[in-house]
Amino acid sequence: MSRPSFSEFKKKALNNPEVQDEYQALNTTYELRKNLIALRQESGLTQEQLAAVLHTQKSNISRLENANSKNSPKLSTIEQYAHAVGYEVKIEFIPINHT
């Protein structure tokens, strides 16, 4: 119960950018955010232009792209975004290692 606690270790580790990347690579929401932004930029659209395609507002696009852990979008929302930038959505299930 003394000695550096695990929560403290974790806290420090999460300040290391590399650890952060590895850690959050497992975070589906974080991965999603990265991909959505990349796809939009690939398509050459601004948030405002994409919003127009989807008949919505740029603020909503920004919110989706910045979805934090407390905000989980609907699957249909992700699909609409994807279609607008020319992509189909596929959900993969990857087995978790139980060592």
Partner DNA sequence: CGCAATGTTATCAACTATGATAACCATCAT
Partner DNA sequence: ATGATGGTTATCATAGTTGATAACATTGCG
Residue 39 partner contact from DNA, a copy of itself, none using kind-dependent CB cut-offs of 5 to 8 Å: a copy of itself
Cβ neighbors of 80 (< 8 A, separation 6 or more) are: 54
Cβ neighbors of 68 (< 8 A, separation 6 or more) are: 29
Under rule CB under 8 A, residue 90 binds a copy of itself: yes
Per-residue tokens: 14: 């999460």
Under rule CB under 7 A, residue 27 binds DNA: no
Which of 39, 58, 82, 87 is close enough to bind DNA by CB under 7 A? 58
Nearest to DNA of 20, 62 (CB atom):
62
Residues of span 65-84 touching a copy of itself by CB under 8 A: 72-79, 82-83
Please state, in angstroms and as integers, the Cα–Cα distance from residue 85 to each residue in 16, 33, 40, following that order: 33, 14, 6
Tell me which residues touch DNA (CB under 7 A). Answer: 41, 46-48, 54-60, 62-67, 70-74, 76-77
